[in-house]
Amino acid sequence: MKILDLAFKDLYQILRDLRSLLFLVAMPIVFTLFMGFAYNTGESDGENADMRLALAVVIESDSRLAEMLFARLDESDAVKPVRVERAAALESLRRGEVAGVLVVPSGFGEQVEGSLIPQVTLIAESNSSDGQSLYQLLRVPISQLMSAVEIASISADVQGNPAEFAPALELAWAKWDENSGQERVRLERAVAQPTENWFGDNPYNQASPGILVQFAIMGLVTSAQIVVNERKTRTLQRLMTTAMRPWEIVTGHLLAMFGLVFLQTALLVIFAQFALGVDYLREPLATLLVSVALGLWVASMGLLIGMLANSDDQVVLFSLVAMFLFSALGGTWFPLEASGGAFAAIGRLMPSAWAMTGYQNILIRGLDLSAAWLPVAILLAYAVGFFLLAVWRFRKMEM
């Protein structure tokens, strides 16, 4: 197939140069080792810091059940609940002092006792990692509370004595502490694995995906230069006179860039998995999906750079600007949660931030495949956008 022939031609031109392999693999590994060491050193003085997610809790219900729920959250090693009034809670969220606000309404006790789904409200930024983590966190204790109420109701009905409900509820609730260790560990991993460091128990959980994303962008220099050289030597123009259609030419170059980025990503993932203990394979399908989406976004951006640049120097310049812009703002060097404010809000608009979110949901937050769909969808949307811009630029050149 002509598209694949063109893609293989580009890959052959890139990989036949051993210096390209040195740049694509060796340099990212060196930077990963350095950044992991720097993170570990920087966090050594703050091992005793409270790294729990701050959660403002507004309790409008005077029921015992609401107090039991708050007490359970207060025991968590992953969340730091603070009981405040609604106005103060919303102001704290606006200032970035808390990760979210949990509102327990006045009818909470009646809803749970009536076996209804309790209508508690979590106010948080749904697209942020903190917001997703808090959502995952609250599902388990509320389910536990409803189960305890159900058990107590059954016990009171069997004994034919409504007065047995309260002691049966306390007993069932206490049993969750004794027998639900696995459930609670799963929940707390979803928010922050150990509480000592923001990168979990391994500094390379941040360093590996961060450098991976950064050098995926920089690795486009060589492949984008091929497109520029084809334009300069008029090879691209001659291709337009062949039987290949314009979209086939663009797609062939895109596949070559994607193949290069994906190969680089796969090698760095394998190295981190087996040499640095970064558990990408805990959710292999999620890791694969995020890596494919990352490759498509970066390849589409590289194709656009190749269509815009007029010289090799411009390719290097555009690639460096893209690398530093997306790396600095997208959380590849440090978590966006650590910056807060406007910087974090802007950073979350970057495709690199969503690539980091996808990887960190697997490595640090311990989430499953479902947590990868949103980052993957956003990365693919960026890929389509950059690809359409590249096609538009190509059609202008054709004219």
Asked whether residue 160 carries a pLDDT value surpassing 90, the answer given is no
Average pLDDT in the chain: 79
pLDDT tens per residue across span 16-68: 776 766 777 788 888 888 888 877 765 544 444 556 788 888 888 777 778 88
Kindly list the domain boundaries of the chain, sorted by start residue: 2-42+198-398, 53-189
Q: How much is the pLDDT for 117?
A: 58
**Who's near 108: CB < 8 A, 6+ residues apart?**
60, 61, 63, 65, 66, 118, 119, 120
- Percent of the chain whose predicted confidence (pLDDT) is above 90: 17
Q: Residue 163: count other Cβ atoms within 10 Å of its Cβ.
A: 9
Residue 266 has pLDDT above 90, yes or no: yes
* pLDDT of 114: 60
pLDDT of 186:
38
- Say if residue 337's pLDDT is above 80: no
Stronger pLDDT, 127 or 383, i.e. the higher one: 383
Q: Which of 115-124, 236-245, 251-260, 269-278 has the least mean pLDDT?
A: 236-245
More confidently predicted of 15 and 71: 71
CB 328 within 8 A of CB 352: no
Cβ(376)–Cβ(358) below 8 Å: yes
* Residue 360 or residue 237, greater confidence: 360
3-class SS at 57? strand
Asked if the model's pLDDT at residue 335 lies above 80, the reply is no
Is the Cβ–Cβ distance between 75 and 47 less than 8 Å? no
Average pLDDT over residues 359-366: 88
Residue 399 has pLDDT above 60, yes or no: no
Q: What share of the chain in percent tops pLDDT 70?
A: 82
| pLDDT band of 398, cuts 50, 70, 90 | low
Q: Amino acid identity of 164?
A: E
The amino acid sitting at 357 is T
- Read off the pLDDT band of 182 (50, 70, 90): very low
In tens, the pLDDT along 185-235 reads 333 333 333 344 556 678 888 889 999 999 888 877 777 777 887 777 777
**pLDDT-based confidence at 341, cuts 50/70/90?**
low
pLDDT tens digits for range 111-122: 666 655 557 788
- Separation CA 252–CA 236 (nearest Å): 12
Average pLDDT over residues 375-396: 90
Segment 144-168 mean pLDDT: 77
pLDDT tens digit sequence for 145-155: 777 777 877 87
Architecture of the domain spanning 53-189: 3-Layer(aba) Sandwich (3.40)
Largest CA distance in the chain: 91
Cα 359 from chain centre: 5
Q: Please report which confidence band the pLDDT of residue 162 belongs to, taking 50, 70 and 90 as the band edges.
A: confident
Residue predicted with more confidence, 94 or 354: 354
pLDDT at 42: 55
Determine the pLDDT at residue 194. 39
Question: Which is more confidently placed, 126 or 264?
Answer: 264
* Strand, coil or helix: 104: strand
Instruction: Say how many CA atoms lie within 13 Å of 100 toward its Cβ.
Output: 26
CA-to-CA dists, residue 292 to 11, 217, 262, 296, 299, angstroms: 17, 14, 7, 6, 10
* Predicted confidence (pLDDT) per residue in 347-362, tens digit: 888 999 999 999 989 9
The residue ranking higher by pLDDT, 181 or 337, is 337
